[in-house]
Amino acid sequence: MCLMTTKHHLILTLTIRSGTLLPRSLIEANGFLELFKRNTQGKLEEKGTHFMDEIFDSAQQMERLPEDLLSFSRMGRAEMMRTSVSLDRLAQKALRILLNEAEGRDIIWDIKPLPEVRGDAVMLQMVITNLISNALKFTRPRKQAIIEIGSIQPESEPVIYVKITGPALT
């Protein structure tokens, strides 16, 4: 068995196991969190309410983990379909997908024009969505964040970046 096949088998096994055990655990945890929330409604300080919201957000992200692992596993086995892809469109789609993660936050989006490239649209969508999602996660504790999405072309191939800045962020 080659290394790639072993790696895909391992990812698939992990995905199946996490796909059955993780949701049940999350349902139980969310149930307890809901009870706690009801019992402490109006009694928690702002910081406590913030922590509770963070726990719920993390649980939602964990619910997506098995599907993300399955997608990653499929990516390695699938043949790349190289076509002309508008990275501008992919970035806009990623922002729509991640709308809930940015809701209620003070985020200044600085989206520069992105090039059209040749590549696999599905893989590129996953990469761009993941980059923007990470920027949202890393800036979550900040009151305000500036997230810049752009590209540079130092050689013949464009380099896409997601840059985060803001108060107290280095």
85-95 pLDDT, tens digit per residue, is: 999 999 999 99
Please tell me whether residue 45 adopts helix, strand or coil conformation. Answer: coil
Inter-residue contact 106 to 143 (CB < 8 Å): yes
Residue 150 has pLDDT above 90, yes or no: yes
pLDDT score of 40: 82
DSSP-based helix, strand, coil % in the chain, nearest 5: 60, 20, 20
Fold for the domain defined by 82-165: Heat Shock Protein 90 (3.30.565)
Spatial distance between the Cα atoms of 165 and 147, rounded to a whole number of angstroms: 6
pLDDT score of 130: 87
Task: List, in sequence order, the alpha helices (H) in 78-120.
Answer: 87-97, 99-102
- Of the pLDDT bands very low, low, confident and very high (cuts 50, 70, 90), residue 110 is very high
| Helix H or strand E encompassing 48 | helix 46-77
Count of CB atoms within 10 A of residue 81's CB? 11
Q: Which residues pair with 146 in a beta bridge?
A: 108, 165
Spatial distance between the Cα atoms of 46 and 49, rounded to a whole number of angstroms: 5
DSSP 35: H
Task: Read off φ and ψ for residue 89, nearest 5 degrees.
Answer: -65, -40
18-76 pLDDT, tens digit per residue, is: 555 566 666 677 777 777 877 887 888 888 877 777 777 676 666 666 666 666 666 66
137-149 pLDDT, tens digit per residue, is: 888 877 888 999 9
pLDDT score of 166: 65
Mean pLDDT of the chain: 77
In sequence order, the 6+-apart residues with CB closer than 8 A to the CB of 57 are 101
